Amino acid sequence: MKTYLLFLLFVVPVLGERVFAQNPNVPSDLMQISETLMDYIEGTATGDRLRLRRAFHPDFKLYTVTE
């Protein structure tokens, strides 16, 4: 009985943390990828620099070559 109680004492809190570790308010990876792609596609289609800028990392340097 004592080992059973010790087992529950240590296992239940660990399992409980795993259950509550998921945050439903965080956007899913698929949603973030979709938003980034839409920013890129619509930014290039309409020439909207701000929307296109959101699709890239802030430190990214975009260069173009014109002849």
In the chain, what are the domain boundaries? 2-54
| DSSP 8-state code for residue 64 | -
Nearest to 54 by CA among 65, 38, 67: 38
Ramachandran assignment for 47, one of left (phi > 0), alpha (psi -120 to 50 degrees), beta (any other): left
Per-residue pLDDT at 6: 67
End-to-end CA distance of the chain: 82
The model's pTM: 0.54
Per-residue pLDDT at 61: 84
Taking the chain (67 residues) in runs of 10, the rounded mean pLDDT of each run is 68 60 74 94 92 91 79
Per-residue pLDDT at 3: 76
